[in-house]
Amino acid sequence: MRGVGAALVDRATQAAFVLGIRRTYLCASRERRDFYVKRGWTHIEEDVGEDQLTVLVRDADG
């Protein structure tokens, strides 16, 4: 079943926007960054914390 992860991320993001949250953040491993970027997320910081995570952001208005 391909696309389940993308559907879950998109649904959770849209639910936050419906609740009035205008900006959402998430952390991901560097290896997964492109997965989120392809879905409209923008990476804003690298190598965060001891796990060296990437921080991404997505705004409700695009």
For residue 24, give Cα distances in angstroms to 9, 16, 39: 11, 8, 13
pLDDT tens digit string along 16-58? 999 999 999 999 999 999 999 999 999 999 999 999 999 999 9
The whole-model pTM stands at 0.85
Dump the DSSP string for 20-61. T--EEEEEE-GGGHHHHHTTT-EEEEEEETTTTEEEEEEETT
The confidence band for 1, taking pLDDT boundaries of 50, 70 and 90, is low
Two tokens, residue 10: 């998109």
Q: Give the span between the Cα atoms of 15 and 24, in whole angstroms.
A: 11
